[in-house]
Amino acid sequence: MGINKSVYVLPVILFVISIIGQAFCLTLVVPSISLAALTGLDIMKKVEELPQGDDQKSTVTLTLISAQGQEKKIVTSRYWKNYRGKGGFYSKTLFFTDFPPDAKRTGFLIWDYSEEGKTDGLWLYLPSLRKVSVISSRDQNDAFMGSDLTFADMGQRRLDEDTHELKGEKPCEDKKVCYVVESKPKEAGAAYSKRVFWILKDDWRTVKIEYSDQKKEPLKVQTIKWQKSGDLWVWKDATVKNLQTGHSTIFGISNLKVNSSFGDDLFTDRMLKRGEGP
């Protein structure tokens, strides 16, 4: 009597198909599970890890717009170096004012420390006084060059200084989806009671930041436009609108150069006193 092979082969084929199907389903399901498990801190770490290059040089033009529509322009040269935590630093930044003439050569230096609990170093150089002054922790909340960002805003706040809560996902620019993360300071007396970050889900770029004052009232909104420089995403411009005063500032980025191999000696008080970069 002959053996009907199909009796044995068919169950094996069905079993193999079942296994392949389960594996295929897992490849679809696992990523969605990992994304669903993302916390606010996870997302903010992704933002912090966004490639920025080793250093950047650019022209930053500030357009200050009063509530009545009057405009004032300030042109600065910006030098920035990425330390990635080496030597206890996240980054260092140097600004020089090029325009208007009466403010030319005014300098501003930032050392962003990566060490927990260490306050960032900020220094201001006024050529009229020929003096470098330390910007105290109290004065870091003053307006940067009359703009709608503070001296402290121009630096990089460490993630460990805040709590970060994922509030959900919402539609944002260009029909994309953003993670919405609420960051609240751990220390008492911080300049903002909270900041809410809108972060593109597909590539971790921040496109909007909402600030609330110490009374938990909406204070200002910052919107950010990006541009490509080689393989890197960098700012094209940022607009900051003060919701309480009606004043706003546009930060325009131009003449951008990436990876110029800046030395550490560029980001010192000696260079600050020169009043101009290399």
The token duo for 241 is: 């609108």
* Residue 111 to residue 122: CA distance in whole angstroms: 6
| 87 neighbors 113 (Cβ within 8 angstroms) | no
Which uninterrupted H or E stretch holds 257? strand 248-258
| 82 neighbors 52 (Cβ within 8 angstroms) | yes
* Residue 221 to residue 247: CA distance in whole angstroms: 11
Beta bridge partners of 78: 58, 95
The token duo for 110 is: 């930032």
Nearest-Å Rg of the Cα atoms of the chain is 25
pLDDT value, residue 137: 80
| 77 neighbors 257 (Cβ within 8 angstroms) | no
| 163 neighbors 13 (Cβ within 8 angstroms) | no
* Residue 28 to residue 51: CA distance in whole angstroms: 28
CA–CA distances in Å: residue 5 to residues 9, 10, 18, 126: 6, 8, 20, 92
The pLDDT tens digits for 139-181 are: 888 999 999 999 899 888 999 999 999 999 999 988 899 999 9
What is the topology classification, in CATH, of domain 57-274? outer membrane lipoprotein receptor (LolB), chain A (2.50.20)
* Residue 47 to residue 30: CA distance in whole angstroms: 22
Closest alpha carbon to 195 in 182, 213, 186, 208:
182
pLDDT value, residue 117: 81
List b or e across 186-198, with b for residues whose CB sees 16 or more CB atoms inside 10 angstroms: eeeebebebbbbb
The token duo for 264 is: 């550490």
pLDDT value, residue 35: 53
Ranges under pLDDT 70 in the chain: 1-36
Give the length of the chain.
Answer: 278
pLDDT value, residue 203: 95
